[in-house]
Amino acid sequence: MGTITVRKFAISLDPKEIVDFTHDLEYFSTILSELGFETTGTYTFRYKDQECMMKTELQRSKDGYYLWAYVQAQDEHEYRLQEIADAFDAHVVDGSRRAPA
């Protein structure tokens, strides 16, 4: 998989821009674990199978955390991204769109 591009997405409560969650770390750990992600660091979780590798990363914000998803696969693995978003009652947002300053 080393030659496959890694794509960055955000899981956001707002479908049009990247916004943060106000939940604690345990909230994310529980949901991501239920989705088959393994904890690889305090703020990182990884999922891997024969088709793809996905990493989710929490980034601290003023009010909580931003949730990023990195996908390395032949396609964007939209169904897995949507599964993550659904678990958080949120949306998949293109990682290139930033929250307003």
Q: How far is CA 59 from CA 3, 62, 79, in A?
A: 26, 10, 23
- What's the pTM? 0.85
Question: Which numeric CATH code is attached to 6-94?
Answer: 3.30.310.80
User: Given a cut of 90, is residue 61 above it in pLDDT?
Assistant: yes
User: Given a cut of 50, is residue 1 above it in pLDDT?
Assistant: no
User: What's the N-to-C CA distance of the chain in angstroms?
Assistant: 35
Q: Are 32 and 21 in contact (CB under 8 A)?
A: no
pLDDT band at 96 (very low <50, low <70, confident <90, very high): low
List, in sequence order, every residue forming a beta bridge with 73; answer none if it has no partner: 52
